């Protein structure tokens, strides 16, 4: 499971992907990735980056937070792709996460953090802006429900990876390469999918 096989985006693949490329074969302007035929735009990625940067600048620890979050654009794109994969895997498996479940989970994390302000501060340490916390919780709840659905993390990884392969994820080369084995961007270290949410973990961020 930990063997990583980074896949470069070839010129042939780019030429075959009209959503991602222009007629010249170059990456289509404004497209960060295509996941299951759906575009993730560079503007959508930048909006998430801007939300984090704005929250960081407003923090007393601004300098440390900013210096410790290099590669923010890539990490936000990766998370957006992974959430799309989780959503599709959950749909295929008949797994759902309701708005109420997210709300209840947020209330629990606020209690554990000692207040909403502390929760937001902890989330920002993990480069999650206040307005992104619910999406972060939805991500975690979907992931953990899929673990339960498959009966183990290993089986869940295999199932989610199969879904990702069917979605034919195409990445704009400016963001690097797609690692099909880790279900993430290349050169990212430990695969995200193996991290189950536990009570003792920080309340936000992965």
pLDDT at 12: 27
The CA-based angle 188-84-133, given to 5 degrees, is 75
- CATH code linked to domain 6-190: 1.10.4030
**In 3D, which of 93, 75, 96, 95 has the Cα closest to residue 186?**
75
What is the pLDDT tens value at each position of the chain, 206 positions in all? 433 333 332 322 223 334 554 433 444 669 999 999 999 999 999 999 999 999 999 999 999 999 999 899 999 999 999 999 999 999 999 999 999 999 999 999 999 999 999 999 999 999 999 999 999 999 999 999 999 999 999 999 999 999 999 999 999 999 988 988 889 998 754 455 555 554 434 444 44
pTM of the model: 0.78
Residues 6+ apart with CB under 8 A from 81: 33, 35, 40, 169, 184
What are the extents of the domains in the chain?
Answer: 6-190
Backbone torsion region of residue 156, taken as left when φ is above 0, otherwise alpha when ψ lies between -120 and 50, otherwise beta: alpha
pLDDT at 152: 92
């Amino acid at each position: 499971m930990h063997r990583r096989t980074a896949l470069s985006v070839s010129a042939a693949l780019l030429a075959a992907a009209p959503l991602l490329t222009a007629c010249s074969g170059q990456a289509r302007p404004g497209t960060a990735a295509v996941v299951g035929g759906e575009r993730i735009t560079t503007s959508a990625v930048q909006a998430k980056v801007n939300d984090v940067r704005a929250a960081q600048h407003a923090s007393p620890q601004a300098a440390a937070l900013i210096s410790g979050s290099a590669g923010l654009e890539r990490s936000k794109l990766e998370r957006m792709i992974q959430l799309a994969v989780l959503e599709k895997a959950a749909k295929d498996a008949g797994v759902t996460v309701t708005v109420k479940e997210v709300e209840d989970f947020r209330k629990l994390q606020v209690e554990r953090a000692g207040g909403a302000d502390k929760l937001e501060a902890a989330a920002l340490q993990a480069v999650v802006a206040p307005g992104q916390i619910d999406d972060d919780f939805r991500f975690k709840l979907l992931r953990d429900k899929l673990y339960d659905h498959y009966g183990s993390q290993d089986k869940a990884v295999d199932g989610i990876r199969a879904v990702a392969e069917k979605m034919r994820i195409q990445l704009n080369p400016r963001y690097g390469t797609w690692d099909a084995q880790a279900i993430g961007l290349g050169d990212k270290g430990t695969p995200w999918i193996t991290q189950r949410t536990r009570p003792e973990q920080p309340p936000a961020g992965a």
